Amino acid sequence: PSYALRFAEAIVARGLKIHWSSDLKIDKYFTPERCELLHRSGLRSAAFGIESGSDRILALMRKGCDRETMTAVNRSFHAAGIATEWMTFTGHPGETLEEGLSTVAWIDEESERVDLFIAGEFGLQPGSHIALHPERYGLRAVTFAEEDDLRLYALFEERSPARRSEGGEDERLERAIERVAAGYALNHYPWAGAVSTHHSFLYFLRYGQRAFRLPALRAAAALPPARPGRDGRAPAALGALREPHRFSVDAIARAERAFLETYLRGAMKSRAAGRRREMVSLAPISLATYRAAAAAAAPLAAMRG
C-alpha cells in the first residue's frame, strides 16, 4: 500500500498527467484522503483481492483484513472516483454453503460501489499457507500434473467437504452469483468487462466508474450519438459492449468446462487403484496427453455466435 502512495506522490509532485490502474492489497492504510491523492495522480481503477465475505474464512486464510474494514476502504476508493473491481472466490476448504452465499450477498449489498467483480472457485496457490500446510486445512491429497514443474496448478481433495454438489448446493450458489451478475456487463477474459484487463481500463477511462453496470449502459444508449472528436472520428459506442460476438462465448465456456471436468480431473485421478496415496503426488498427465485431448475438442469455428 505505501508503495502505491509513494508512486502517486511522485506523479503529483512532478505535475505529470497520466492514467493508471493497479491491483492493490486492500488495507486500512488507504484512508479517504489517501484515496483522493491516488485519484489526483491518475489512478482510475483498482482491483482488490477481496476473497470472501466470511470473517471466519478470511481469518483462516490469514487475510489480515476483515469484512468491515474492506467495505469501508472500498467505499473510500469509490467516493474518490476510482472504479473498484472485486476478486472473490467460493469453495475454500471448510467453507459452508452459508459462507459462500454471504460472499455473494456482500457483493450485492455493495453493488453501487463495486464496478466489476469476479466470483471464482478457490484454487490452491503456490506459497500460500494452505499450500505449504495442506494437512492443517483438512486436505487429504494434493495432485499436480506430471509436467507442471513449477507446481502452479493443483487439484485437491478434502477429508470432509463442507459443501457437496449432490444436494444441489453448488447450483444454489451459482444461481445467486448469476442474479448479482445480471446487473453488470461481465465477460470472460480477455474481453472488456473482465477484471484487471486493459480492455476494461480503457472503458473506465472513456465512460467512467459505472461503465459496466447495465443501468449506466442503458442510459448511455438512450443518449443522442456523440459528436466526432477533434481528430474527426466518432467515439466508440457503449452499445458495442452488447454487440454479438463473432463466436459464442457461452459455447466456448461450456466446452472449457466439459474439458476440465471430463478430461483433466479424470486424468488427475487416474492413479493405479490400490496405490498408497501420499499428501502430494503427480498425475499421469502431460503435454502430449493435453494435445491429444485438445485435438478431439470441437473447433472454434463450430462455436460461432
Residue 220 burial by CB count (10 A; 0-12/13-18/19+): exposed, middle or buried? middle
Render pLDDT for 289-300 as a digit per residue (tens, 0 to 9). Answer: 777 777 777 776
Cα torsion 194, 197, 199, 201: sign = positive
Helix axes 67-79, 32-40, angle to 10 degrees: 40
Task: Give the model confidence (pLDDT) of 29-43 as tens digits.
Answer: 999 999 999 999 999
What the block records as the C-alpha cell of 177 is 452469483
Residue 181's identity, in one-letter code, is: A
pLDDT block averages, 10 residues each, the chain of length 305: 91 95 93 97 96 95 94 97 96 93 97 95 86 88 75 80 61 92 86 87 90 75 54 49 64 76 61 48 68 74 63
Residue-wise pLDDT tens digits, 38-59? 999 999 999 999 999 999 999 9
Q: Residue 137 forms beta bridges with which residues?
A: none
User: Do strands 83-90 and 116-121 pair parallel, antiparallel, or not at all (unpaired)?
Assistant: parallel
Q: What is the mean pLDDT of the chain?
A: 81
294: which DSSP letter? Answer: H
Q: How far apart are CA 150 and CA 266, in angstroms?
A: 21
Nearest by Cα to 69 from 106, 101, 124, 123 = 106
How many CB atoms are closer than 10 A to CB 114? 23
Cβ 124 vs Cβ 142: under 8 Å: yes
